[in-house]
Structure 1
Amino acid sequence: MNPIITLLDAELHIAGSEILWREVIGNGFGLASAIGGMRRRVWAWPIGITGNALLFTVFVGGVFHTPQQLNMAGQAGRQLMFIAVSVYGWWSWYRHASRGAGLEHRGVDPRWATARERLVLVLAMLAGTAVFAQLFERLHSYGPWAEAWIFTGSVLATYGMARGLAEFWLMWIAVDVVGIPLLVRAGYYPSATMYLVYAGFVAWGFLVWKRSMRPSAETARPLAPVPALD
């Protein structure tokens, strides 16, 4: 039997529910990628791409005949977006790392977003959610507004990670808050569980990145000497 077909069709039965192994494995790759991202390792990107490819087949359930038989356009499109943005992130981090110690060198130097960047992120989040909700509704996607929030937040968070913005961890928390109840309602229990794990993990990752950030130029600037009194 074709091993690829075997992987696509393999199921895990828990408490009367059918769960695809590729959903479990795909989310496992996602967690490994998140760990690599926290450590700022270049290998986080190709690992994540592998998981995204598996999860894409999970969320186009009506095409690949998953137990849920649901097409979640936002979740499926999110995986394709991850792959596209991850190629950019992989290239950006590799280029940064190559100036140091190769693939095991840190792929990025974390920093805070500027006030302008934060404003752009907020506006992009609101506008993207409104636009994609209309698109997903026309595609008859399950939970179009929630999916639009998750999709837009995922785009911005992945881009923020590639750029080294520490706020990308906080964007993931905003995604998880909406994603967990949506996936539970749709019956994608491994993904919902992984979202819950991510929620705690990203809080940890945020603290790790925050501690690793260098002082800003303003705070690092030495104090001016106090003039001597005559």
Structure 2
Amino acid sequence: MLQSLYEFWTAAAGGTPLEWVAVITGFACVWLAARESLWNFPVAIISCGLYIVVYYRSQLYSDSMLQGFFILMSLYGWYEWLYGGARHTALVVTRTRRWEWLAVAVGIAAFTAGFGYYLQQHTDAALPHWDSFTTAGSMAAQYLLTRKRLENWLLWIVVDIIYVPILWYKELYPTSALYAVYLGLAVYGYFEWRRAARAAAHTTLAATS
């Protein structure tokens, strides 16, 4: 009976129960991040732990490894959002620095070329270079998010656009749909954070005048 119910769920829902739990928690953490809620970090840790298994089973090894990075960055971001501002105060939304953009561009290019080559030559990875590019872009976007840089959402938009067809191709249909939702949330997050950045800038200007 339990096996029959499992098979029915898999066929009807288009994914395993494990993937669906990862999808739900993944949606929750991005929504909370867009709302500047600290709760996005513990929820992200749960979701990423589940996706380590989901991606590994689908031969998306780079993305599976990426989840471990996300867990570490979530712990770091949790601290930074609380105490990473001036005089150990909470962070406010700011713009990405020029040197950060340069580091992001060089890092993404180098990781995509290097790790993509490794996956292509030494593993049975399904889409080695695309997998590596989305991994590198996600790491860069996550770092900028932990520092509350507004433009992290622009990077997420690019990454999500690429992830949707990759995950559909790998028959991870619920996760592909989730990344389509992520795309909308990234647009929403950008405008929400831009409003917050302007408010923070006005507050700083008023305090110094």
> What range describes the TM-score normalised by the shorter chain of this pair?
0.7 to 0.9
Of 97, 106, 112, the residue aligned with 2:95 is 112
The aligned counterpart of 1:13 is 10
The aligned counterpart of 1:3 is none
Report deviation, 1:216. 5.2
The aligned counterpart of 1:121 is 104
Aligned partners of 1:216 and 1:43: how far apart in 2?
A: 25
Report deviation, 1:14. 3.8
Q: Which amino acid aligns with 1:180?
A: V
Aligned partners of 1:86 and 1:135: how far apart in 2?
A: 27
Report deviation, 1:135. 2.5
Report deviation, 1:13. 3.1
Aligned partners of 1:118 and 1:133: how far apart in 2?
A: 22
CA contact (8 A) 2:14 2:173 kept: no
Report which of the two has the higher share of helix: 2
Report deviation, 1:163. 0.7
Aligned partners of 1:91 and 1:113: how far apart in 2?
A: 19
Pairwise CA RMSD of aligned residues? Answer: 2.5
Whether 1:22 and 2:10 are equivalent positions in the alignment is no
1:172/1:94 Cα in 2 relative to 1: closer, same or farther (>3 Å)?
Answer: same
The aligned counterpart of 1:42 is 38
Aligned partners of 2:19 and 2:10: how far apart in 1?
A: 13
Q: Which amino acid aligns with 1:184?
A: W
The aligned counterpart of 2:78 is 90
Aligned partners of 2:91 and 2:36: how far apart in 1?
A: 6
Which 4+ runs in 1 deviate beyond 4 A?
none
- Which runs of 5 or more structure 2 residues have no equivalent in the other structure? none
- Higher normalized contact order (CA 8 Å, seq sep 6+, divided by chain length): 2
1:156-206 CA distance string (max 9 Å, x none): 111100011111101111111211111111100011000000011100100
The aligned counterpart of 1:71 is 59
Q: Secondary structure at the match of 1:60?
A: helix
Aligned length: 197
Query: Which protein has the larger Cα radius of gyration, Structure 1 or Structure 2?
Result: 1
Aligned partners of 1:167 and 1:148: how far apart in 2?
A: 21
CA contact (8 A) 2:164 2:179 kept: yes
Aligned partners of 1:74 and 1:189: how far apart in 2?
A: 19
Whether 1:81 and 2:69 are equivalent positions in the alignment is yes
CA contact (8 A) 2:34 2:185 kept: no
